[in-house]
Amino acid sequence: MVRAVQIERPGVLRVGDLPEPEPGPGELLVQVHACGVCRTDLHLLDGEVDIPNPPIVPGHQIVGTVIARGDGDSSLRPRPSDARNPAEEEKSPHEDLAVGARVGIPWLGWTCGECRYCRGGRENLCDRARFTGRDIDGGYAELAVADARYCFALPEDYSDLQVAPLLCAGLIGYRSLRMTGDAVRLGLYGFGASAHIVAQVAVFQGRRVFAFTRPGDEATQSFARGLGAEWVGGSDESPPEPLDAAIVFASAGELVPAALRALAKGAPVVCAGIHMSDIPSFPYEILWGEREIRSVANLTRRDARELLELAPQVPVRTEVHRYGLDDAAAALEDLRAGRLQGAAVIDVGR
């Protein structure tokens, strides 16, 4: 049996023992060392993001060691669709993921390889995608099973706890940052796990970071300043100059018109979360001038490869708060209440 945390149904988290999972063909059995806690886990728990087949073990920022590979490994044989899909061409980094290797398992757990999104280099939008910790049991457990093609070797410079937040907070943040193009003046709304990584990458890329927190949250504001933000303020404040792009990490819909008002002409608001409360209506005038609103959904394996290569160069330093597996509920509630700076990570080995 393995110790694991499950979302049984909306609102109900259960810690208990589950049968050992078995890797199928092309899958890895991973001894989990650490698993990052993401706001998506909260949305799943709260029923704001649907779980198709509960119960499910949440957690999609998994760091562990490969302890077995499934028999009849088909993952090393390119699928016919891969040939038509050069944008997501796999040099098969998973070939290195032998027994004993350290591995990272992110949110994107499986894609069909055949739909128009997969074929067009946008596997993040795959019609049949399966996600770790939503469709596939995730990392709030001592063992996890994952399709080797969607797993990654991790930069050696990072400990298990410190690398975990790169796997979603970092990846989704990085994809969001990419959607801002060459924006120099970058607004970050909601300075949590994702923004604390993105701010470091953005400064490294020569951008100027403007961080917006809950009004009056001086602790987070000084945290943001320490990570390179040149201006910090409440989300109800205006920045000292117009922004070339804004990324909204918080799940409060009212931040979208607030961010629009802070933008220069032609600038985008990128919504990075999987769930957001309704966006209030706003005058067309604040969208006029070719401002844009767009969302970012999931990640591609290309995003993962790029960020995992870039992070040690910055170098990104993650601020992590450690919780035991039995304290998963506390981690989620601390995240909900905004009681921590940086990222919560479950130390499964503890």
Residue 190 gets the label, from left (phi > 0), alpha (psi -120 to 50) or beta, of: left
> Is residue 112 a contact residue for Zn ion (CB under 5 A)?
yes
Tokens of 140: 């709030």
> Is residue 213 a contact residue for Zn ion (CB under 5 A)?
no
Contacts of 134 (CB under 8 A, 6+ apart): 40, 44, 49, 51, 52, 56, 58, 60
Nearer to Zn ion, 225 or 305 (CB): 305
| Contacting Zn ion within 13-42 (CB under 5 A) | 38, 40
Nearer to Zn ion, 78 or 233 (CB): 78
**How many CB atoms are closer than 10 A to CB 156?**
8
> Is residue 97 a contact residue for Zn ion (CB under 5 A)?
no
CB of 279 to Zn ion, least distance (A): 21
Helix (H, G, I), strand (E, B) or coil at 273: coil
User: What residues does 69 pair with on adjacent strands?
Assistant: 28
Give the containing element (helix H, strand E) for 293: strand 292-295
> Is residue 49 a contact residue for Zn ion (CB under 5 A)?
no
CB of 138 to Zn ion, least distance (A): 10
| Contacting Zn ion within 161-180 (CB under 5 A) | 168
* Per-residue CA distances from 156 to 104, 105, 291, 308, 309 (Å): 12, 16, 41, 10, 11
> Is residue 272 a contact residue for Zn ion (CB under 5 A)?
no
Among positions 44, 49, 126, 171, the unique one binding Zn ion when judged by CB under 5 A = 126
> Is residue 154 a contact residue for Zn ion (CB under 5 A)?
no
Nearer to Zn ion, 38 or 49 (CB): 38
Nearer to Zn ion, 115 or 297 (CB): 115
> Is residue 115 a contact residue for Zn ion (CB under 5 A)?
yes
The answer to whether 27 and 145 are in contact (CB under 8 A) is yes
Among positions 28, 30, 97, 118, the unique one binding Zn ion when judged by CB under 5 A = 118
Where along the sequence are the contacts to Zn ion (CB under 5 A)?
38, 40, 111-112, 115, 118, 126, 168
